Amino acid sequence: MTEREVVVKSDAGVHARPAMMIVREAMKYSCEVKLIKEDVEADCKSIMSVLGLAIVSGSRLVIRASGEGEEKVVDAIVSMIENNFTIHEKPAEKN
């Protein structure tokens, strides 16, 4: 099991789009990934579950994963949150 704590700094908190980014990242791995805020656990692979945590700026989160690729997925999500969900957004491709 790998676990790391992170504080959300982005002003808007985790609304629909950042939630989708977290879920998309978690879905790349087969292991179980949880997002924990104040003892409430959310399944990182479910958008509704992540949105339901009502994560605002300043929320303290624990990301916990167990299984194959647990370290990688925790690192990826933590860095995504620390970077305010910016680096993972690819510029829209032009046709």
Catalytic positions are 15
- Let me know: does 3 contact 74? Beta carbons within 8 Å: yes
Q: What's the closest the beta carbon of residue 45 comes to another protein, in angstroms?
A: 4
Q: Which value, in Å, is the radius of gyration of the alpha carbons in the chain?
A: 13
The 7-46 contact track toward another protein, x by CB under 8 A, reads ---------x----------x----------xxxxxx-xx
- State yes or no: residue 52 binds another protein (CB under 8 A): yes
3-state per-residue secondary structure call for 36-79: EECCEEEECCCHHHHHHCCCCCCCEEEEEEECCCHHHHHHHHHH
**Nearer Cβ to another protein, position 30 or 86?**
30
Give backbone dihedrals phi and psi of 34, rounded to 5 degrees, phi first. -120, 150
**54: contact with another protein by CB under 8 A:** yes
- The residues of the shown chain that bind another protein, judged by CB under 8 A, are 16, 27, 38-43, 45-49, 51-52, 54
